[in-house]
Chains A and B, each alone.
Chain A
């Protein structure tokens, strides 16, 4: 188990207010290394370069839709191991199924319970296999 302070989380969300909410929730879990992007096109390159422990992904991003981003992440050897939690207002069964089939580990529907999301994030990070976690300098 790795100390929360050593985790890096990539937040992919185009609403600045929601980004700050994620930042606060992550800080409450002791995670201060938070990267953000508002553009779907940037997610996979950022994930490859910075190897976050976890990605929070909105499905409705400009540039590339969330399922497309997930497919890109999960078909690349450098990023397929990074867990992705979908946090989105989309909530049809088909959309949830699509996201989970594409490799998301969880799907949180907005409006979510902030405390519950914080606990879920912490649980996922606590349960990460230490050998699969990247170092700050990059995963090899």
Chain B
């Protein structure tokens, strides 16, 4: 493995990071050999590992999402039908929902349940919590399901097609917009020109090895 850096959020400072490939091996979605073959095909970085694992026929998007759900210990759904109502759209604005690629489902007591691709994305969860004023409970589903449901929930709009560049957009492909992320006082910002992340200062060396540089 070329380096250990991954923007896959670590949760709290000092906690071991979770690289997607290692997570999928850990939960039995792929074998260590398949991981290493995919990693070789991906030129040693984990950025496209999900795409390579699927392209090489080692697994499916659905199994990857299920694996993420198991690792994150959050429920995984193949369909969100029955988990939202027209009132769900009042919980989060359409703009924020599309930008963060999340679906507000329902609120019970002080908790809003939200469907998202990556339940380990603490920055998105933090942003949603600050915006709504409620605790956020994530559930996992496929990215295509997220977009289909957003279109149903908000009525859809012309620019609402699922981007075609990748069948799945996993954490390492996500761009966390600086303006939406919170808790910036305890983080530094790194970017490789296309992706920007808040990370712990202790992770800066690993980030630099992977082509990121500190921008703030």
Contacts and interface: CB of A to CB of B under 8 A. Distances in A.
B79 A21 contact: no
Interface in A23-60: 23-25, 28
B147 to A, nearest CB: 18
12 contacts: A15-B73, A17-B113, A18-B75, A20-B113, A21-B113, A25-B82, A25-B83, A110-B75, A111-B78, A113-B82, A114-B82, A115-B79
Interface in B50-109: 66, 69, 73-83, 85, 105-106, 108
A79 to B, nearest CB: 27
B139 A17 contact: yes
Looking at chain B, what size class is its interface with the partner chain? 20 to 34
B108 A114 contact: no
Given A111-B66, A114-B83, A21 B78 contact: no
B74 A24 contact: no
Contacts of A110: 75-76
A61 to B, nearest CB: 15
B110 to A, nearest CB: 11
B162 interface: no
Interface in A101-117: 110-111, 113-117
Nearest to A19: B108
A118 interface: yes
Given A20-B108, A20-B111, A111-B76, A117 B139 contact: no
Contacts of A28: 82, 85
B137 interface: yes
A117 B75 contact: no
Contact of A24 (B73, B76, B106): B106
Given A17-B139, A111-B66, A24 B75 contact: no
Interface string B108-141: 1001010000000000000000000000011100
- Which 10 pairs show the lowest CB-CB distances between chains A and B? A115-B82, A114-B82, A115-B81, A114-B83, A24-B106, A17-B137, A111-B76, A20-B108, A113-B79, A118-B82
A78 B83 CA distance: 34
B75 A111 contact: yes
